[in-house]
Structure 1
């Protein structure tokens, strides 16, 4: 199900913890699987749980708790908008609404061309930079005014 390279990466995650605490590696292992496969199906979560040596239910709990894990296919550019209270007070909700309008989709949806998925997220730990977006779980974009959003969408559409 996963490539030999991904399994080697998971082995490196497992090596960070004592054998009796191997479940501590599940977040990294799920991230590695998602990077390779694009999202985490139930079958993938079960496979990773078995490989790590924990009950599938524990892996599923992690995958469904954190919004960085995608349980269904997402667009090339997954945009997570922080709408938690501090960001909401500083334009996070407005940024989300603007993105919905610009992309023609709602939260949890993907554009017809498969380029963009829009997700509502919780605190990203950058309240002073609000409104904040996260691109593909890795790149934080701060102070996202309408103009900044337009610039980012143009940049991401070109890639």
Structure 2
């Protein structure tokens, strides 16, 4: 369930002011969605409807863009979002085992958030750091050559 704090009137007003500041809204859907996710932290259906109405774009198109691009999230992410690269180099060097260990230790599946809201886990296609494979991102921090044995220590940094 979405809390009132997450979808406050102030946040909708901030997004509306951003949209209204654009010289033209034509072709600005992705830019507006980036801003909306920055404001709200994710893009629930209420925000997608709002964006569609403000831009004069069908909600189905908004949803299509949000669901197509892996950057956009339709569920809230944890305070610390853990992303495991599953690109070819990372995969062949054990990324799947690392991802499984994060899921096991946190008790969550890919795309989900721990009950306390502290961590979320996701798999990425490629982060472009193949020389460091397997790669894990926690927020903006990059961890390279991650092994299953390193997972506990990485999590402990954020507990």
TM-score, length-scaled by structure 1: 0.77
RMSD: 2.5
Gaps of 5+ in 1: none
Bigger proportion of residues as helix: 1
Instruction: With the length of structure 2 as denominator, give the TM-score of the two structures.
Output: 0.77
Please name the residue that 1:6 is paired with: 15
Confirm or deny that 1:22 pairs with 2:26. Answer: yes
The 1:156/1:27 distance shift into structure 2, 3 A limit, reads farther
Match for residue 105 of structure 2? Answer: 102
1:127 to 115, 130, 136: 130
User: Any gaps of 5 or more consecutive residues in structure 2?
Assistant: 1-8
1:152 aligned onto 2:154: yes
- Cα 1:27–1:151 change in 2 (3 A) is farther
CA drift of 1:58 comes to: 1.9
Find the aligned partners of 1:10 and 1:139 in 2 and give their Cα distance: 31
**Distance in 1 of aligned mates of 2:49 and 2:107:** 34
- Measured in 1, the distance between the counterparts of 2:12 and 2:142 equals 29
- Number of corresponding residues: 150
